[in-house]
Amino acid sequence: MDIDNVDEKAFKSFEGRIVKKDLVSSLKGQVNVPAYVLEYLLGKYCSSSDEEVVEAGLQEVKRILSEHYVRPDHSDLFKAKVRELGKHQVIDKLKVKLVETEDKYWATLVNLQIDHVNIGEDIVFKYEKLLAGGIWAIIDLSYDPTLYHKKEIRPFVVEEIKPIQLASSNVLDEINDCRSDFTRDEWLDLILRSMGLEPISISHRLKMLYLARLIPFVENNYNLVELGPRGTGKSYVYRELSPYTILISGGDVTVASLFVSLTGRGKIGLVGLWDAVAFDEVAGLTRLGASQAINILKDYMESGSFSRGREEITAHASLVFVGNINVGIETALRTSHLFTAFPHEMQDLAFLDRFHAYLPGWEFPKMKSDLLTTHYGLVVDYLAEAFKELRKLSFGDAIDHYFELGTSLNRRDEKAVRKSVSGLIKLLHPDGDFTKEDVEYYLKLALELRRRVKEQLKRMGGVEYWNTALSYIDKFNGRESIVPLPEQVASTLISPDPLSPGTVYTVGLDVESGRYAIFRIEVARMKGNGNYTVTGAVGRAMREAVRTSYDYLKSNITKFAVDKSLEDYDVHFQVVNIMQAKEGSQTASAFFVALYSALMNIPAKAGVVVLGEITIQGGVLPVQDFAECVHLAKENGARRIIVPVGNSKEIAFLPPEILQGLELSFYSDPKECLVNALEGLD
């Protein structure tokens, strides 16, 4: 490996605080401990550019791990060593629980596989995280065969522990003093290398997305979600990179463990003991799906506090939710929304609206060896201490020096964007020395991460969340910029091109899911005996709509000046389910238009969508949820929408932005519907 400019600056500025990162990965294959545990030792013995020093230090680390790190398959060997020596130092994960029926704290040594280990209350109260998931530590473990509990020997005793984390009060001062030695991009590369990544092989956008995973480390009460494919390292940073962050599997978390006292001494749970609580595999969060749990989560995510009895309790832990999306992003965007990984009970709009940022997990590559660095980075523990200190600062007002936020942002949007910008500034400019260009770059990313949340809410909640065009205004030139989403391309669900006769788009309600969907109806006629068939994803409501439209035209065919008889043709109706809904009610008018179009060989107007129902007698029924239907059609490319006249009064309630560039035509009878929808009948 060649020492590059970033390495040289790191040695100059952080001597004794850096480590060759591939040493971590090589040891990681030998011992299953978090990266910060390994780096704690590597930072003490291998923080040098001298290969001989590094090699000697590496041998010492291996010796310490060999003699003191407890491998699960060697647990009996270590137990015997503690017994024979009377006392021995071990490196293990230590957890504590209160057994209230015995009024006693018992410690568990995870790898040593001992459940009933004596531990003093003074140690428990000094390190409360022992009660909330446990901590890795260097443990002085003794053996006393005279200790009994309930007539059973409980000989193991935790005498003292040293948590594996760096205790230094001036870490942030050191980092701030050295930050100016690096350009912004060099500092970004150093942080990424500190995470174990090699930035040379990563695009600048991807670098920033990796960095955004760290915002919960430095920003209090930051709510982040990342959903994407497996194997992209979503949960790695929260498990490996800080002793102040805990990763818990979705099924293991309850409201009690998250918020309520674990010690019985009136103290709060995980959110009060950790800087960030990350939930792995959100699909398993079924225990948090109950209404009471959701309400407590919403309160905490909004305000950073929750009620326990009459008392309002404040905490600062950020919440991170990671999980897998098992379909392609294009399919997910076309057919549903990007929160489908959550349990159904947690797809609560008010809950999801509390997320400050949605990281596009589908943009992260699968973790491979070429993504891992062989260069030097800051010892993770050292960086984690700086992150912890940065939580005390805020750069949320940095935006105001140069920009205004657009009118489309509500107060919750603004809060989210400010927290994201603040977090990115802390990570890249901990000394507070940044430029207008820096802030604008971070502002664009912050708006994108928040807009991704809003776009999904719009898909799920419709018009209530219609305004997703999040923007910012430059105070110096007044220019307003709307920030797009990379995955949001111009929709082609509704073709802007002329369609062949017999083809019409409509919007129908899937009663089972309660969601509206776009359907393309295609009708073909052929010589036959007056029969019709229906294919596609067609439920009972659509079959009834087909029957109504067919029978109405058949009984009124002379009224529409049709010189053909349906008795001479077989008609094939096909419903093309372009959004994979299971049903589409209130669609009879569209079937009628498509049937007439096919019969007379007259195409529908380009970009037209037909809404509404007709009855067997030719009556016209208004559509329910008119605003939702218009909104969905417009968002997916509609240029013209044919609407029952009964919905005309609802136009006043539509946001002007939805109506912009959209032609609405009303009809009071089936003939007027045909005139508005088809070419050449005006």
Say yes or no to pLDDT of 157 above 90: yes
Check whether residue 56 and residue 94 sit in a common domain: no
Q: How confident is the model at residue 251, as a pLDDT?
A: 66
Q: How confident is the model at residue 268, as a pLDDT?
A: 74
Whether residue 431 is contained in a domain is answered as yes
Q: Give how far Cα 41 sits from Cα of 21, 56, 78, 197, 542, Å.
A: 13, 13, 20, 20, 68
CATH assignment at residue 34: 3.40.50
- Say how far apart CA 215 and CA 447 lie, in whole Å: 15
In 3D, which of 312, 237, 323 has the Cα closest to residue 275?
A: 237
Per-residue pLDDT band at 224 (split at 50, 70, 90): very high
Check whether residue 37 and residue 53 sit in a common domain: yes
Digit-coded pLDDT (tens) for 558-604: 888 787 888 888 999 999 888 777 778 889 999 999 999 999 999 99
In 3D, which of 657, 616, 656, 658 has the Cα closest to residue 641?
A: 658
Average pLDDT value for residue range 296-300: 91
Q: Give how far Cα 98 sits from Cα of 95, 117, 125, 261, Å.
A: 11, 12, 12, 11
Q: For tokens 């009933």, what's the residue?
A: 116
Check whether residue 36 and residue 81 sit in a common domain: no
Say yes or no to pLDDT of 82 above 60: yes
Q: Give how far Cα 385 sits from Cα of 72, 242, 404, Å.
A: 30, 8, 33
Q: What is the pTM assigned to this prediction?
A: 0.75
Amino acid type, 367? M
Q: CB-based contacts of 637: which residues, under 8 Å, 6+ apart? A: 490, 491, 492, 493, 494, 495, 496, 607
Q: How confident is the model at residue 309, as a pLDDT?
A: 62
Are 385 and 166 contacting, i.e. CB atoms less than 8 angstroms apart? yes
Check whether residue 181 and residue 291 sit in a common domain: yes
- Say how far apart CA 54 and CA 44 lie, in whole Å: 11
Average pLDDT value for residue range 219-233: 94
Cα angle 187-193-194, degrees, rounded to a multiple of 5: 90
- Point out the domain boundary residue: 111, 129, 163: 163
Tokens of 525: 């006629």
Q: What percentage of the chain carries pLDDT values higher than 90?
A: 52
Say yes or no to pLDDT of 167 above 90: no
Whether residue 491 is contained in a domain is answered as no
Average pLDDT value for residue range 657-669: 89
Check whether residue 332 and residue 370 sit in a common domain: yes
Per the DSSP assignment, residues forming a β-bridge with 138 are: 91, 162
* Beta strand pairing call for 357-360 and 223-228: parallel
Specify the range with the lowest mean pLDDT, choosing from 82-96, 199-213, 285-299, 411-425: 285-299
- Point out the domain boundary residue: 329, 362, 384: 384
Check whether residue 403 and residue 525 sit in a common domain: no
Check whether residue 200 and residue 53 sit in a common domain: yes
- Say how far apart CA 240 and CA 243 lie, in whole Å: 8
Q: How many CB atoms lie within 10 A of CB 58?
A: 18
Q: How many CB atoms lie within 10 A of CB 403?
A: 20
Q: Burial level of 119, CB count in 10 A (0-12/13-18/19+)?
A: buried
Tokens of 425: 């500034």
Whether residue 488 is contained in a domain is answered as no
Q: For tokens 């969508």, what's the residue?
A: 609
The SS3 call for residue 17 is coil
Check whether residue 222 and residue 271 sit in a common domain: yes
Tokens of 216: 């919960």
Per-residue pLDDT band at 437 (split at 50, 70, 90): very high
Q: How confident is the model at residue 30, as a pLDDT?
A: 76
Whether residue 489 is contained in a domain is answered as no
Q: How confident is the model at residue 428, as a pLDDT?
A: 97
- Say how far apart CA 21 and CA 196 lie, in whole Å: 6
Q: Where are the beta strands (DSSP E) in 242-291?
A: 245-249, 276-280
Half-sphere exposure of 184 (CA within 13 A, CB side): 19
Whether residue 494 is contained in a domain is answered as no
Digit-coded pLDDT (tens) for 11-47: 899 987 888 888 887 787 777 777 778 888 887 788 7
Q: How many CB atoms lie within 10 A of CB 615?
A: 12
Digit-coded pLDDT (tens) for 313-361: 888 999 999 999 877 777 777 667 889 889 888 899 999 999 999 999 9
Specify the range with the lowest mean pLDDT, choosing from 63-72, 149-158, 472-481, 671-680: 63-72
Q: CB-based contacts of 146: which residues, under 8 Å, 6+ apart? A: 155
Are 160 and 140 contacting, i.e. CB atoms less than 8 angstroms apart? yes
The SS3 call for residue 634 is helix
Q: Give how far Cα 562 sits from Cα of 208, 308, 397, 557, 596, Å.
A: 63, 73, 69, 6, 9
Per-residue pLDDT band at 514 (split at 50, 70, 90): confident
Length of the chain: 682
- Say how far apart CA 59 and CA 42 lie, in whole Å: 10
Alpha helices in 17-166 (DSSP H): 21-28, 35-45, 51-68, 75-85, 121-126
- Say how far apart CA 519 and CA 516 lie, in whole Å: 10
Are 137 and 92 contacting, i.e. CB atoms less than 8 angstroms apart? yes
Tokens of 129: 């995280």
CATH assignment at residue 653: 3.30.230.10
Amino acid type, 482? I
Check whether residue 51 and residue 108 sit in a common domain: no
Q: For tokens 């392609």, what's the residue?
A: 328
Half-sphere exposure of 291 (CA within 13 A, CB side): 0
Check whether residue 601 and residue 649 sit in a common domain: yes
Mean pLDDT taken over the chain = 88
The SS3 call for residue 245 is strand
Say yes or no to pLDDT of 521 above 70: yes
- Say how far apart CA 241 and CA 30 lie, in whole Å: 18
Check whether residue 140 and residue 107 sit in a common domain: yes
Say yes or no to pLDDT of 264 above 80: no
Q: At what angle do helices 35-45 and 51-68 cross, to 10 degrees?
A: 130
Per the DSSP assignment, residues forming a β-bridge with 608 are: 640
Say yes or no to pLDDT of 283 above 90: no
Are 233 and 367 contacting, i.e. CB atoms less than 8 angstroms apart? yes
Per-residue pLDDT band at 155 (split at 50, 70, 90): very high
Half-sphere exposure of 466 (CA within 13 A, CB side): 18
Phi and psi of 509, rounded to 5°?
-95, 125
Question: How many domains is the chain partitioned into structurally?
Answer: 4
Q: How confident is the model at residue 265, as a pLDDT?
A: 55
Are 483 and 470 contacting, i.e. CB atoms less than 8 angstroms apart? yes
Per the DSSP assignment, residues forming a β-bridge with 506 are: 519, 610
Are 614 and 549 contacting, i.e. CB atoms less than 8 angstroms apart? yes
Q: How confident is the model at residue 168, as a pLDDT?
A: 54
Are 38 and 27 contacting, i.e. CB atoms less than 8 angstroms apart? yes
Alpha helices in 565-669 (DSSP H): 588-600, 626-635, 656-659
Phi and psi of 534, rounded to 5°?
-130, 130
Average pLDDT value for residue range 604-624: 93
Per-residue pLDDT band at 163 (split at 50, 70, 90): confident
Phi and psi of 5, rounded to 5°?
-65, -40
- Say how far apart CA 473 and CA 672 lie, in whole Å: 45
Q: How confident is the model at residue 310, as a pLDDT?
A: 65
Q: At what angle do helices 204-212 and 184-194 cross, to 10 degrees?
A: 60
Check whether residue 341 and residue 404 sit in a common domain: no
Average pLDDT value for residue range 481-498: 77
Domain span including residue 403: 392-482
Whether residue 36 is contained in a domain is answered as yes
Are 281 and 274 contacting, i.e. CB atoms less than 8 angstroms apart? no
Whether residue 493 is contained in a domain is answered as no
- Say how far apart CA 509 and CA 489 lie, in whole Å: 25
Whether residue 337 is contained in a domain is answered as yes
Burial of 316-327, coded b for 16+ CB within 10 Å and e otherwise, reads ebbbbbbbbbee
- Point out the domain boundary residue: 354, 384, 414: 384
